[in-house]
């Protein structure tokens, strides 16, 4: 059942007496009353829902509480939270209540309720730090440094914490300039202007300079319009150079060589790190030489990562190993750097250290886990053993109240609320309960929920639930028609949409295989799909037909190299060709050095998925390394007609 538009719903139901409505109609009526902020009508609907014993009656109470929360007293809110502690919305109400208490500066009530809050909310976190600082906790403000050093806008109440930090000298001038630089670097200009105003020496005229540099960084450099004799002027010139280096690296390098002597030592160190990272992203051979001008301890997390990638492209395993060793303990423990640390040890012939790292990683059913397993000599060539939940286990999960609410919400068209209830229901499940829940989701054709739930298991797994194969007749038919590996197509579709037919990305890619409308029209014309209209992109057969043809097209453009074709499907053939190596390159290194994070992760996940699907479906089994292949270089890429996905 699709959710009614609220205006239409009100027109249909507002004139109906409550006694004439069935329970579902009353629920929809209550939701419409909430949307129109009609608390008296909502209260009446809530009473009716309870009288009708509707499984979702408490949602009307929840909506009513949200409308009245700002004027509610402590006892009323605590009573509501106690009565509804088993509902997913309880913590949402608690979060809003904590913000109200923080705004009121009612710290005793705030800290009495805070231990019951189980989620993360930056506004709540900032109120907690503010409250601790104002009630005598001397270390609270020091802990807030991590909140300050972000290029994201923080909730407005966090400014109270930052004010206290600045008054206490915990927030220094260096901290202000560091965050300003970070915000500028990420293009967050309004934030940058807000941050730098904490430095009392920056006036309105200088704030206008920030806008002009952002709008035309090259003109700033060419015309030398901003002085290098003050802190802000130098920072803006560095920003202009950084922006220029993204598209015109050689020009930026030339300008930097002419200007560098006018900058202070820490500013020069910063710029060398930025230029080195830009060189690494564009696979420039000068990257490691540029990195050599800066100590690893002066590089940020992202710059260290790209130094490792530059070393991978150069096959300089000593630099790979030493750079990872200089990362923070937290960064070193990321799967990507665990794998490449193990590989570096292996390439440097330190086999005991290599095995010690790779054995631990190989236990994980992930991209890097598969690569680690293959480095150790194992291959996924048999179907993994699956734990199949019993009917009793599935029934037991289905009968849980939160699961019942999730099913009911979905039936009424409240998909987001349904998924929130589901997540709340399974959060404390053990592995077997998790698989029973995944099986239940599969029976509802909630493929995305089944996958996400099955992926949460730690020790007991079911790969048929993690890697479902719906629409198989259609997929097999079009794979055969386009001479494509079925496991690859499933691996890609799983990553694109989790098999949600109505999926639509922020840029418009739609359907199971997330085909862009322009690409769909181009393919439809190419294959003679007469009568094609855009709404057909969400039809299973049509979407798979269009998507598999386009995937075959990208594979041909990339000379049959699956890793490059996968990158092309995500980012467009033009970009994938631009990233082609000049010399033959190990596919795992090619994937690791894709400049766009989304595409890098996409290629890795699609090809890992393909390995699991090949095992699950009993189709052609290849190692992940075989699927990644050896990228043959520019000469092996066929420059066919280009089309962006």
Catalytic residue among 496, 586, 592, 641: 496
Q: Which two structure tokens, joined as six digits, stand for 82?
A: 């106690």
Contacts of 136 (CB under 8 A, 6+ apart): none
Q: Cβ(49)–Cβ(57) under 8 Å?
A: yes
285: three-class secondary structure by DSSP? coil
- Other C-beta atoms closer than 10 Å to the C-beta of 74 total 13
Tokens 């209209």 correspond to what residue?
Answer: 533
Nearest-10 crossing angle of helices 39-51, 57-68: 160
Q: Cβ(141)–Cβ(133) under 8 Å?
A: yes
- Supply the DSSP symbol for 384: P
Phi, psi at residue 130, to the nearest 5°?
A: -60, -45
Q: Which two structure tokens, joined as six digits, stand for 406?
A: 């999730």
Asked about 592 being catalytic, the answer comes back as no
Tell which residue, 159, 176, 150, has the closest CA to residue 123: 159
631: three-class secondary structure by DSSP? strand
Query: Rounded distance, CA 512 to CA 619, Å?
Result: 21
Contacts of 203 (CB under 8 A, 6+ apart): none
Q: Which two structure tokens, joined as six digits, stand for 351?
A: 């086999």
- What is Dmax (Cα atoms) for the chain? 82
Q: Which residues pair with 504 in a beta bridge?
A: 510
Tokens 């855009």 correspond to what residue?
Answer: 534
Query: Rounded distance, CA 182 to CA 192, Å?
Result: 8
Q: Which two structure tokens, joined as six digits, stand for 257?
A: 């060589």
**DSSP H/E element including 162:** helix 158-167
Tokens 């050599």 correspond to what residue?
Answer: 292
Q: What do you get for the CA distance between the two ends of the chain, in Å?
A: 32
Q: Which two structure tokens, joined as six digits, stand for 87?
A: 């509902």
Angle at 359 between CA 357 and CA 360, to 5 degrees: 70
Q: Cβ(627)–Cβ(610) under 8 Å?
A: yes
Phi, psi at residue 58, to the nearest 5°?
A: -65, -20
Instruction: Give exposure, 199-214, as e/b (b: 16+ Cβ within 10 Å).
Output: eeebeeebeebbeebb
Q: Please provide the DSSP assignment of 467-526 as one string.
A: S--TTHHHHHHHHHHHT--HHHHHHHHHHHHTT-TT-B-TT--BTTTTB-HHHHHHHHHH
What sign does the dihedral 521-524-527-530 (CA atoms) show?
negative
Query: Rounded distance, CA 143 to CA 136, Å?
Result: 14
Residues labelled catalytic: 496
């Amino acid at each position: 059942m699709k959710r009614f538009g609220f205006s239409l719903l009100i027109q249909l139901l507002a004139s109906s007496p409550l006694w004439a409505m069935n329970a579902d109609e009353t629920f929809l009526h209550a939701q419409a009353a909430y949307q129109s902020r009609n608390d008296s009508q909502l209260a009446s609907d809530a009473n009716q829902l309870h009288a009708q014993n509707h499984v979702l009656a408490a949602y009307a109470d929840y909506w009513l509480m949200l409308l009245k929360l700002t004027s509610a007293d402590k006892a009323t809110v605590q009573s509501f939270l106690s009565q509804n502690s088993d509902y997913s919305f309880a913590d949402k109400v608690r979060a809003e209540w904590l913000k109200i208490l923080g705004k009121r500066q009612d710290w005793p009530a705030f800290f009495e309720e805070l231990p019951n809050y189980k989620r993360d909310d930056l506004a709540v976190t900032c109120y907690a730090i503010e409250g601790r600082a104002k009630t005598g906790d001397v270390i609270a403000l020091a802990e807030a440094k991590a909140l300050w050093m972000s290029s994201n806008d923080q909730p407005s109440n966090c400014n109270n914490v930052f004010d206290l930090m600045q008054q206490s000298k915990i927030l220094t001038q260096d901290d202000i300039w560091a965050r300003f630089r970070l915000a500028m670097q990420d293009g967050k200009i309004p934030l940058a202007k807000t941050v730098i105003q904490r430095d009392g020496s920056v006036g309105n005229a200088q704030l206008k300079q920030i806008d002009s540099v952002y709008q035309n960084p090259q003109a700033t450099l060419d015309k030398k319009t901003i002085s290098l004799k003050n802190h802000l002027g130098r920072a803006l010139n560095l920003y202009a150079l950084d922006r220029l280096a993204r598209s015109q690296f050689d020009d930026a390098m030339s300008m930097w060589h002419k200007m560098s002597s006018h900058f202070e030592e820490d500013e020069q160190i910063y710029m060398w790190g930025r230029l080195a990272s830009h060189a690494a992203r564009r696979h420039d051979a000068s990257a490691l030489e540029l990195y050599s001008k800066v100590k690893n301890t002066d590089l940020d997390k992202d710059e260290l990562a790209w130094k490792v990638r530059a070393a991978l492209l150069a096959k300089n395993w000593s630099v790979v190993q030493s750079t990872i060793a200089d990362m923070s303990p937290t960064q070193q423990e990321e799967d990507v750097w665990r794998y490449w640390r193990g590989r570096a040890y292996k390439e440097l012939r330190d086999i005991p250290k290599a095995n010690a790292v790779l054995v631990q990683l190989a236990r994980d059913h992930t991209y890097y886990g598969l690569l680690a397993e293959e480095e150790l000599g194992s291959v996924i060539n048999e179907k993994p053993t699956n734990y199949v939940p019993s009917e009793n286990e599935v029934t037991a999960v289905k009968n849980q109240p939160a699961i019942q609410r999730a099913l009911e919400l979905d039936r009424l068209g409240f998909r987001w609320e349904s998924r929130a209830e589901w997540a709340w229901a399974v959060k404390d499940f053990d592995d077997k309960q998790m698989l029973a829940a995944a099986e239940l989701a599969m029976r509802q054709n909630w493929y995305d929920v089944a996958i996400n739930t099955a992926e949460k298991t730690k020790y007991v797994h079911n790969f048929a639930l993690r890697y479902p194969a719906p629409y198989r007749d259609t997929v097999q038919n079009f794979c055969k028609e386009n001479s494509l590996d079925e496991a690859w197509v499933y691996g890609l579709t799983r990553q694109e949409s989790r098999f949600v037919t109505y999926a639509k990305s922020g840029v418009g890619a739609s359907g199971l295989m997330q085909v862009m409308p322009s690409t769909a029209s181009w393919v439809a014309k190419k294959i003679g799909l007469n009568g094609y209209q855009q709404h057909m992109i969400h039809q299973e057969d049509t979407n798979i037909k269009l998507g598999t043809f386009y995937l075959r097209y990208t594979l041909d453009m990339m000379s049959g190299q699956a890793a490059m074709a996968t990158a092309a499907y995500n980012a467009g053939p033009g970009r994938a060709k631009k990233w082609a190596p000049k010399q033959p390159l190990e596919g795992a290194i090619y994937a690791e050095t894709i400049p766009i994070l989304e595409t890098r992760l996409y290629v890795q996940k699609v090809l890992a998925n393909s390995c699991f699907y090949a095992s699950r479906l009993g189709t052609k089994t290849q190692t992940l390394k075989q699927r990644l292949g050896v990228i043959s270089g520019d000469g092996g890429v066929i420059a066919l007609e280009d089309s962006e996905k």
